[in-house]
Amino acid sequence: MDFLKMNSLSFPASNHYHQIKILIPSHCPHCSQAMKPITTKSHSYNYNSKEEINIFLHQCPDCFKNFVTTHLRKNKEKENIEFISCYPSTRKSQFSRLVEDTSPKFIDIYNQAFSSEQQNHFEVAGVGYRLALEFLVKDFAIKALKQDEAEVKSKKLFEALKDYVDTQGALTSEEVVRVLGNDFIYYGQKQEQIEFNLLKWYLDIFIQQIETKLKLLHPPVASQQVEKQIQS
């Protein structure tokens, strides 16, 4: 995923870490800059007879703050190192104040999904993103469009998107229905990476659409005053 990238480490002093490649966050968890960190310290613990935990301390070259990543080295092989976690976790996604005020629940669930994605829990993240979008579109319909609450709540995500966001049907294609559809995930199905990327692609589009509509409903006070001055 794009929040992780493969990074080559070189610790000439230790053969154990020399020229290994590990996945680490592509952006600094402190300043959010895209970066290639300087790895300054490392340590290993035996986890069981076959696996060990590798811990690395990195420094961001932009803000000079430290962060730690943990990895599982399987069969104690240099080529088989799995990313586990980063501390602090990558910063939460930022949304406009309009979106935050319209649906605090969306922000909460989206960030839970975002956190799951960072831990490589894509199934949980996928379900979370879909639920977050459902809260956003329904809160938008009820609070901003003043639609009947019971009616809005009874609709499926796709119906709500079509009725309140994509009113001209330009975005809600069959593929979108499939990706966002409730029957897309069921017990035993392996979530494919491409489906997850598609889900995020459409998610971003719908969030932007709702944000644009909110901006149109709530223009800045300053621009209203300018309009009044122009009219008078």
Residues 63-82 interacting with Zn ion (rule: CB under 5 A): 63
Instruction: Considering the complex, state which of residue 31 and residue 217 has its C-beta at the smaller distance from Zn ion.
Output: 31
Least distance in angstroms from the C-beta of 59 to Zn ion = 9
Instruction: Considering the complex, state which of residue 60 and residue 160 has its C-beta at the smaller distance from Zn ion.
Output: 60
Instruction: Considering the complex, state which of residue 60 and residue 142 has its C-beta at the smaller distance from Zn ion.
Output: 60
Least distance in angstroms from the C-beta of 63 to Zn ion = 3
86 binds Zn ion (CB under 5 A): no
Selected binder of Zn ion within 51, 62, 82, 211 (CB under 5 A):
62
Selected binder of Zn ion within 4, 9, 20, 28 (CB under 5 A):
28
Distances (CA, A) of 142 to 23, 155, 172: 42, 12, 20
Asked if 196 and 122 count as a contact pair (C-beta separation under 8 A), the reply is yes
First-last CA distance in the chain: 54
Chain Cα centroid distance, residue 97: 18
Q: Single out the segment in contact with Zn ion by CB under 5 A; choices: 24-32, 44-52, 103-111, 142-150.
A: 24-32
Neighbours of 36 (CB within 10 A): 13
Least distance in angstroms from the C-beta of 210 to Zn ion = 31
Selected binder of Zn ion within 20, 23, 24, 60 (CB under 5 A):
60
Least distance in angstroms from the C-beta of 61 to Zn ion = 8
Instruction: Considering the complex, state which of residue 36 and residue 50 has its C-beta at the smaller distance from Zn ion.
Output: 36
Q: Which residues bind Zn ion (CB under 5 A)?
A: 28, 30-31, 60, 62-63
